[in-house]
Chains A and B, each alone.
Chain A
Amino acid sequence: MDKKYCAYICAGCGIGDALDLEALSGVVSGEMSMECKTHEYLCGAEGRAFIEKDIADGVNTVVIGACSPRVMTSEFNFGDDKITVRANLREHVVWTEVKPGEGEEPNAEAAEFLAESAADYMRMACTRAKKTLLPEPYQLEVLNKKILVMGGGLAGLTAAKEAAAAGYEVLLVEKEDKLGGKALGWRKSFPTGAPWTDLEENPIHALIAEVEGDARISVETGKEVARISGAPGQFNVTLKSAGTRTEWDAPSRVTVDEREKIEKGEMEDPNAGFVDYTKINPDGVMVGSVVLATGWKPADVSQYEHLGYGSVKNVVTNAEFERLAKEGKVPANVAFVQSPGGKEDDKDFPYCNSVTSMVALKQAQYVTEDNADGKAYILYQHMRTPGSMELFYKNAQNRDGIFLTKGSVMKVEEAGGGLKVAVEDTLLGEDIDLNVDMVVLAAGMEPTTLHQNTINLAYRQGPAFNDLGLFDGYADSHFICFPYETRRTGVYAAGGVRKAETMEEAVDDATGAALKAIQCIESVDRGVSVHPRSGDATYPDFFMQRCTQCKRCTEECPFGALDDDEKGTPLPNPTRCRRCGTCMGACPERIIGFKDYNIDLIGSMIKAVEVPEDDDDRLRIVIFVCENDAYPAIDMAGMRRNGINHMVRFIPVRCLGSVNMAWIRDAMSAGMDGAMLLGCSYGDDYQCHFVKGSEIASKRMENIGDTLSTLGLESERVVAEQVAITDYDKIPQIINDFVDEIVEMGPNPFKGF
């Protein structure tokens, strides 16, 4: 499109008072050769009409110098066929100005510092407006709208039912010969509605009947998924009889080094006999997205020797007790042990979440229901009954024969035909011994993904979800922020495979995952991204002629979106892509980019910043800010008027993973004095919206440090910091401290070269 530009600067919210807008628009119209207008109050009806009048006259690329792009989004949305670029003059310039402390003289040059800052943000915005292009959505030739549900337990059945109810065809695959899964073995289930006190009939049988009678759902029992290849909207699914081995089984991951060894004949090809992973099975079923509901396995508890599982008679797990209860074999005196740590720690059994607390409360009721003088002892370190289940707990507690105490269970042993349980540190104020007939251990629920590939993808990065170790074997990409998304786009987990949860939660969970699977198909249909950049119509372009087959993009993509051919040239799957740009950050050849976000665009923005020479009060530090958490945190710092040093310039990035080291070099060679990457924390308590971005960035930073040293620059001039969205009060300190360090080091010696 032929761009017709116009820039607008708003005087509202204190911007007009703090800045000389005439001078600022002079910078835009002079240096950037772009028409520039000012207005009292751009986000009001008058302001919008002011801009719309120009748009009617042909302006199609608008630069707004006003508030943060995170606010007033609809006021400054002029349609998909217009480009709007926002310069954050309010939060990042005016509101974060460092105010003199009490009794201090204001800096004589304060007004100039502010004007320089504002001018740089306008320069960057104008540069971006010139470089950015309108996105063209990626469209599949054929879109498959069928949904594959893996697992015919409660979660799978619910997901199938809900997807079918929304009008989608469903293929339901169950490994066992009949539907129902684990729930078939449960006697009663938890309350699902007010008054939240009484156990309810197990809903599984009714659900099976409903699914079997639904014409939109085709059920395959005794089958499992051999492999899934392709991408959302066009997954190619090969089924096989459960427990068998076929040539269509998903091939194992082969690393770059292993592939070399195989080629040299030093290593056996683990995938010999399997069809190549990029091949499409003509007999396979085509589906649009996948709900993973393969459930869980009871955890092994024999490692806790003092509790006697496996060595002492009548010590059982909760799952085993439930089966006994279903058969009506409930003894009169039962102790429920919730935590295995004795005095060592107060943790519950691993993988139990809040489920085992509630299961114990349920099973204790079996003891008192089935025996007139039944006594059930629940020995816990934590009683977890979230939400309305508190009422369930209260009701169970109110029964005469149910006895609860916090305590450390020290020993379970045989005594006089029964069992003796020794408990210390109890609420009763003494160490106690209980004589019981049976001890029930609150074993956890291990997701099937912990031990098996489960999803069996034919992807370059291997058949399983990646980085399972970091996430205790769970497949989700963030259990709080994005509960259903796995680290494979188009695959949504629900039920026990996602989280140890009750049947009631599994029903909600499966409904959510079904909606996510539908949302994915519909997003693919419109050629836009799924969560967390929902609706983004851009996708990465590869300039393949210059690709050196280094495979960094294929290896680093957090979502395994890139396959490759035999030479190692990436084969993009745009519908698997979440648009984080990690590939772009990885590429040493700088051949990957988006229409509105690429190496040249950000590089040009960096170069647009004016770097004064020989002025220690005017050093320039570029900060690449992750849009997801760090950017809003800086906005909040501005809202609270927390001062940030005038020498920094913020550039928003999609994810730290997308930061290409070329930008750091651009900044340093432009004479800037330092650079910082501000993104989400990684590791155990990771908060990265793209799972791995900030971690990858920090690894790349180690290497850039070496590069800087060889150039004769201090490696400390470039740092990466991890922050959370709640760190708005700490961020100014982090930034100002870094500026102080740079000031200490002195200006970049290459300034002006």
Chain B
Amino acid sequence: MIVQPDLEFIKSLKEAGGDTLKKCYQCATCSVMCPLSKEGKPFPRKEMIWAQWGMKDQLLNDPDVFLCHQCGDCTANCPRGAKPGDVLSAIRSYAYTFYGWPKPLAKLASSAKGLPMMIGIPVVIIFIMWLLAGATHIPSKEQFANIGYTNFFGHWEFKWYAKNIFFIVLIMVPSLGLGLFSAFMGVKKMWSTMAKQAGVTNSFRPSAVQFTKEFLWPSLVEIIKHNRFNECGTHLDRVRGHLPLMLSFIGLFIVTLWSLLKQDVLGLIWPSLHGPLPLMDPFKLLANVSAIALLFGIVVLWNNRKKAEAELDTQATFYDWFLIWEITAVGVTGLGAELLRWGGMPTLGYIIYFLHLVSVMMLFLYLPYTKLAHLVYRTTAYAFEKYRESQFVKAE
């Protein structure tokens, strides 16, 4: 193998939280600590020297990098302060940009420099939509209690399809679609490079059903149960934040799906289904419980991060903080809008609602490039790991 170190890659990793990577002297204490490390596969010692040597391709093709849960045991026990966990996190951050499609958007979402633009895009789109919709008629206090934020984009003459819902669908569905498509493109690229690296040929391909049943579904179960996360030592606290956060996302996803069905499909038949859900509606209950879980989770993760920076000298990176801010923004504006509705403060409520729309759109749009991308990449890596060990590959 001809080795050509990539100096730019090393620099990028150093900026993305891996500033300590060159300190590693290959003692392999990390590999002894790491639950992922297997015989003949000294993870993350090998990854550390690849990073030191700027061996970008080796690292981006390495599923283990994505399987790492940043449990922090390697970093806490490293005798040289090389922080392998943080280096791996930086490699993932680099990978999301590298695999990201389209490239310019991926690049934009990779550093704090892009932040004004990242916020600007949804602000402008929503603002234009808002103008096109004829601007908001902020309701009176009395109306507000009944209609909530359904008048944000004005109200439509045709009762069978609310104008507000039309606009929200118009903004959010393409955003999520773009996000999911980009994520798919990235994951596809990653899968093919990893398969190539692992020497997987396509002579035996599982069907989509087989793939889901044998690789994807078991991976999802494992992820939801936090099996591997619970093996963490140093950063075990993060489970207390991550688990409620993940469950709240699932809860809110279910609520959104129901909302979509109710408003955009059933609402066409029974226009009375439009408008905010009553408080005792099971979906509303789920939504509120999820919102509280989300805020609880993010507070835990925020504090953990601060603690790590103070105690373990972890570098504060845009990559990590963007996701924390983003989720906080979604949770605070969402719950805030609801509380303001109950409190009968329409003007402030509508402003907060606007911000809520912006933050949600950002979540969708930048999903495949920011830390949130671990959702798809890590799941893919889980599935790839199972695939690689399966008879489909081994048979060859």
Contacts and interface: CB of A to CB of B under 8 A. Distances in A.
Contact of A432 (B3, B14, B25, B54): B3
Contact of B7 (A397, A400, A406): A400
A342 interface: no
Interface string A522-544: 00000000000000000000000
B138 to A, nearest CB: 56
A429 B22 CA distance: 18
The winner among A397, A398, A427 for most chain B CB atoms within 10 A is A427
A624 to B, nearest CB: 49
Contact of A401 (B7, B14, B23, B80): B7
A375 B7 contact: yes
Given A400-B10, A403-B5, A433-B3, A428 B49 contact: yes
A431 interface: yes
Contacts of B14: 400
Contacts of A404: 52
A434 B3 CA distance: 6
Nearest to A435: B2
Interface string B45-60: 0100110111100000
A433 B26 CA distance: 20
Contacts of A434: 2-3
Contacts of A401: 5, 7
Nearest to A428: B49
Contacts of A432: 1-3
A354 interface: no
A344 interface: no
Interface in B1-33: 1-5, 7, 10-11, 14, 22-23, 25-26
Contact of A427 (B22, B26, B54): B26
A430 B42 CA distance: 13
A668 B294 CA distance: 97
Interface string B315-348: 0000000000000000000000000000000000
A399 B54 CA distance: 12
Contacts of A431: 1
The winner among A405, A406, A431 for most chain B CB atoms within 10 A is A405
A428 B46 contact: yes
A112 interface: no
B14 to A, nearest CB: 8
A640 interface: no
A399 B22 contact: yes
A384 to B, nearest CB: 13
Given A401-B7, A433-B1, A428 B22 contact: no
A392 B324 CA distance: 39
Contacts of B4: 435
B23 A428 contact: no
A373 interface: yes
B22 A398 contact: yes
A70 interface: no
A397 B1 contact: no
Contacts of A433: 1-3
B46 A403 contact: no
A205 interface: no
B7 A427 contact: no
A329 interface: no
Contacts of B49: 405, 427-428
A427 B46 CA distance: 7
A336 to B, nearest CB: 15
A394 interface: yes
Contact of B23 (A394, A400, A429, A430): A394
B212 to A, nearest CB: 33
A338 to B, nearest CB: 15
A403 B1 contact: no
The winner among B46, B52, B80 for most chain A CB atoms within 10 A is B52
A431 B50 CA distance: 13
Interface in A389-446: 394, 397-401, 403-406, 427-435
Given A397-B25, A403-B52, A403-B53, A428 B3 contact: yes
Interface in A328-380: 373, 375
B7 A430 contact: no
A433 B52 CA distance: 17
Contact of B50 (A399, A406, A428, A435): A428
A428 B26 CA distance: 10
A397 B3 contact: no
A397 B2 contact: no
A737 to B, nearest CB: 44
Nearest to B81: A394
B55 A375 contact: no
A83 to B, nearest CB: 58
Contact of A375 (B5, B25, B46, B52): B5
A394 to B, nearest CB: 7
A337 B53 CA distance: 17
A430 B49 CA distance: 12
Nearest to B55: A428
Nearest to B58: A428
A688 to B, nearest CB: 39
Nearest to A420: B2
Interface in B52-105: 52-55, 80
A400 B1 contact: no
Contacts of B52: 403-404
A427 to B, nearest CB: 5
Interface in A268-300: none
A433 B1 CA distance: 6
Contacts of A373: 7
A430 B10 contact: no
Nearest to A398: B22
B23 A398 contact: yes
Given A373-B7, A375-B7, A433-B1, A397 B22 contact: yes
A406 B26 CA distance: 10
Nearest to B13: A400
Nearest to B20: A398
Given A397-B23, A400-B22, A435-B2, A429 B46 contact: yes
A430 B53 CA distance: 13
A428 B1 CA distance: 11
A427 B47 CA distance: 10
Given A398-B23, A428-B46, 8 more contacts: A375-B7, A397-B22, A397-B23, A397-B25, A399-B22, A401-B5, A405-B49, A434-B2
Interface of A: 373, 375, 394, 397-401, 403-406, 427-435
27 contacts: A373-B7, A394-B23, A397-B22, A397-B23, A397-B25, A399-B22, A400-B7, A400-B10, A400-B14, A400-B22, A401-B7, A403-B5, A403-B53, A404-B52, A405-B49, A405-B53, A406-B26, A428-B46, A428-B49, A428-B55, A429-B42, A429-B46, A430-B1, A431-B1, A433-B1, A433-B3, A435-B2
What 4 A-B pairs are tightest by C-beta distance, nearest first?
A398-B22, A432-B3, A400-B10, A433-B2
